DNA sequence: GTGAACAAACAGAACAGTTGGTCTGTTCGT
DNA sequence: ACGAACAGACCAACTGTTCTGTTTGTTCAC
């Protein structure tokens, strides 16, 4: 029963539809608010399949969340020599795929109230951290714990994200507004993380 | 039925216990995840009182949320001439009262997926915005929409908040760690928002 | 090729536990 | 005595999960 059955092409397609529907559902309502009924309806399948493939609501969220996480990691790779540009690309990514940040935040709120968002941050962030450390060694980035620098830049990129506590931007706003925010963000990240060449500021 | 009964001293005390219990409950589980049963148990009262005083789950959340919002506004007043210091004070506030930010984020996720967190931002933020605008006019803060500057600084202060998508700090971490983050935050906000006196950076 | 056999895909009913919300009746304070 | 505070039973609706039975696709002996 716990063994997932072998998937045929058709089953694989259904499985994917379930993941897609669940991603939207969880992003919109969270774990507690999501409804299995709505997911299977949206995925044009039935509960039996969902439970055969994923085992339950919690584990379905796991599948959805980890898939989303890997996606965002590869879509917006870090550029430690241009943290400002990286932040701007993240800003744009949030506009295109608000679901991913919402998913991450639900995960934070409903599952991990403290500490790292995911347990094995080490594996996921190693690339980012060494890149930042290298840029610091080259004097292009302000000194300090690379992890903290990363957290700060990501936080800045999320100032207008779908989970902002001030204002959540959307793609349908005028392009000029986005340009204004990108400019401010770029300059701010540069100013915040750029190493001071010499003397005082 | 919709008319709330006049409150005696005892009733007022019960009402307050309900708000306190509901604040903790909503902060922990959100609107969908919160349980009326747990709230009345924690508040040492019963459902009849809760429904007489607040009318229902949603409206109870309203009461809890707006109360928390006003609280955080008055506890950490802005200092536009020292945005870095303000950000650091916010960092500390999140350590002391993680509930308030969590509440705000639940509100964002479950109720206001886009735009302003609260509809009448105008009234709430006017003070902040004029303060920032004045500091900009005096050349102490980088130019740009004051609202965007505010959003950015708040976002920076939340880099390690209880809703961070990277790492959620807690009060029980070593003081040295907090000091390190505060230093980075202070310098970063100063660098991000400080106006450049003249020439290039 | 064909048809029996088997596993996966499917649909929907059924189930048990829970939840927000209401109702009835009792106690308390003034 | 009158209304507010209170306690707990009660209810209807909903939800995650399981079960029963049917259809579909593939395999393979013949």
- Give the confidence band of A199 by pLDDT, cuts at 50, 70, 90: very low
Q: In angstroms, how far is C5 C1' from A61 CA?
A: 37
| CATH topology classification for A9-64 | Arc Repressor Mutant, subunit A (1.10.10)
Contact yes or no for B188 and A152 at CB 8 A: yes
Q: Which of A145, A150, A164 has its CB closest to that of B151?
A: A164
Q: Which of B105, B112, B150 has its CB closest to that of A109?
A: B105
How many whole angstroms separate alpha carbon A148 and alpha carbon A144? 7
Q: Is the CB of B50 under 7 A from strand D?
A: no
Q: Collapsing DSSP states into helix, strand and coil, what is residue B141?
A: strand
**Residue labelled with tokens 């009182």:** B49
Q: Is the CB of B32 under 7 A from strand C?
A: no
β-bridge partners, A168: B115
How many whole angstroms separate alpha carbon A78 and alpha carbon A129? 10
Contacts for B187 with CB less than 8 Å, ≥ 6 apart = A142, A192, B84
Q: Which nucleotide lies nearest residue B45, CA to C1'? A: D6
Q: In angstroms, how far is C9 C1' from A28 CA?
A: 28
| CATH topology classification for A76-193 | Tetracycline Repressor; domain 2 (1.10.357)
Residue numbers in A 53-82, CB below 7 Å of strand D: 56-58
How many whole angstroms separate alpha carbon A132 and alpha carbon A81? 8
Nearest CA in chain B to A104: B165
- Over residues A126-184, the pLDDT tens digits come to 888 898 999 999 989 999 999 999 999 999 999 999 999 999 999 999 999 999 999 99
Mean pLDDT of A111-134: 88
Residue A24: name the closest of A111, A73, A90, A97 by CA.
A97
- Over residues B47-72, the pLDDT tens digits come to 988 998 998 999 999 999 999 988 88
Residue A102 token pair: 């919402």
- Give the confidence band of A36 by pLDDT, cuts at 50, 70, 90: very high
Contact yes or no for B150 and A166 at CB 8 A: yes
Q: In angstroms, how far is D24 C1' from A52 CA?
A: 17
Residue A164: name the closest of B6, B114, B43 by CA.
B114
Domains A9-64 and A76-193 equal at CATH topology level = no
Domain boundaries, chain A: 9-64, 76-193
């Amino acid at each position: 029963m716990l063994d997932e059955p072998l998937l045929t092409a058709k089953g694989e397609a259904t499985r994917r539809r379930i993941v897609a529907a669940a991603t939207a559902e969880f992003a919109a309502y969270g774990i507690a608010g999501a409804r299995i009924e709505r997911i299977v309806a949206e995925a044009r399948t039935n509960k039996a399949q969902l439970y055969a493939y994923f085992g339950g609501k919690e584990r379905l969220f796991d599948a959805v969340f980890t898939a989303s996480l890997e996606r965002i990691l590869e879509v917006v790779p870090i550029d430690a020599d241009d943290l400002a540009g990286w932040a701007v690309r993240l800003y744009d990514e949030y506009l295109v795929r608000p679901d991913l940040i919402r998913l991450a935040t639900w995960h934070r709120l409903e599952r991990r109230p403290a500490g790292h968002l995911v347990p094995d941050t080490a594996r996921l962030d190693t690339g980012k951290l060494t890149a930042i450390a290298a840029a610091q060694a080259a004097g292009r980035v302000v000194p300090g714990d690379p992890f903290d620098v990363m957290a700060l830049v990501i936080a800045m990129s999320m100032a207008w994200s779908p989970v902002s506590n001030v204002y959540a931007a959307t793609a349908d706003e005028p392009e000029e507004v986005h340009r204004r925010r990108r400019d401010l963000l770029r300059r701010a990240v540069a100013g915040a993380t750029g190493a001071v060449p010499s003397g005082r500021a």
